[in-house]
Amino acid sequence: MVREAYHKDLHKLKEEVVSMGTLVSKAIGDSVLSLKNRDSDLAQKVIEMDNEIDAMDHKIEEDCMRLLALQQPMARDLRLIISVLKMSIDLERMGDLALEIAVITKITARVPPVKPLVDIPRMSDICQDMLKNIMIAFENKDVELAKVVAKRDDEIDMLFDQVRRELISYMIEDPKKITGAQHLNFVARYLERIGDHITNLSENVVFMVTGERAELN
């Protein structure tokens, strides 16, 4: 009976981190959508969503610590708990970055956009797709999928460089656009950092399954 409860707790832990991943993905998507549509109401929902993400992070941390203290897991189970604990930290930080994008939406919503948003929404779409697939890799213990997800961070980096160069040219051509361009550069930087955090998730999936610390991408 004790072991059965223990395995149920491990399964619940996996469900919690997948649910957190789903919520973080929504926060990323909605934050960039709010920016694109200059939608302050949607941005406010993203800001409020961060409280829920933080609560999920705290719950996962508490559950991990309880299992470590009471069950003293070994080998594979220990790797699972450690990986979940580290993944929740990366997910919480991604939620913070989505919140920062939403804050920029609220700051700039009444100001004419510097440029049409094309590459930034593409970065968001890639981040959401990466996050969806790394959660699938986590659930299925799929090391190869985790490695494929990590490689997509190259796409994020290339788009970030492209956006940054374009924004620099806007600032040089028209100093009045400097503030707006800087805000967009921050958004692109936040999405680039989200890609890095997802790469961390990939590395933790590899560790969970194989016990090896791999440097992906």
Q: Tell me how long the chain is.
A: 217
pLDDT at 72 over 80: no
CATH class of 2-210: mainly alpha
Q: Supply the pTM of this predicted model.
A: 0.94
Q: What pLDDT digit, counting tens, does each position of 122-169 carry?
A: 999 999 999 999 999 999 999 999 999 999 999 999 999 999 999 999
Q: What pLDDT digit, counting tens, does each position of 9-50 carry?
A: 888 999 999 999 999 999 999 999 999 999 999 999 999 999
Out of 27-31, 73-77, 88-92, 105-109, which region has the weakest mean confidence (pLDDT)?
73-77
Secondary structure letter of residue 217 according to DSSP: -
Question: Residue 194: what pLDDT?
Answer: 98
Question: Residue 115: what pLDDT?
Answer: 85
Q: How far is CA 188 from CA 3, 64, 168, 202, in A?
A: 47, 33, 13, 21
State the chain's mean pLDDT as an integer: 94
Q: Domain residue spans in the chain?
A: 2-210
Q: What pLDDT digit, counting tens, does each position of 143-153 carry?
A: 999 999 999 99
The pLDDT-based confidence of 2 (bands split at 50, 70, 90) is low
Residue carrying the six token digits 């302050």: 40
Exposed, middle or buried: residue 182 (CB in 10 Å: 0-12, 13-18, 19+)? middle
Question: Residue 1: what pLDDT?
Answer: 54
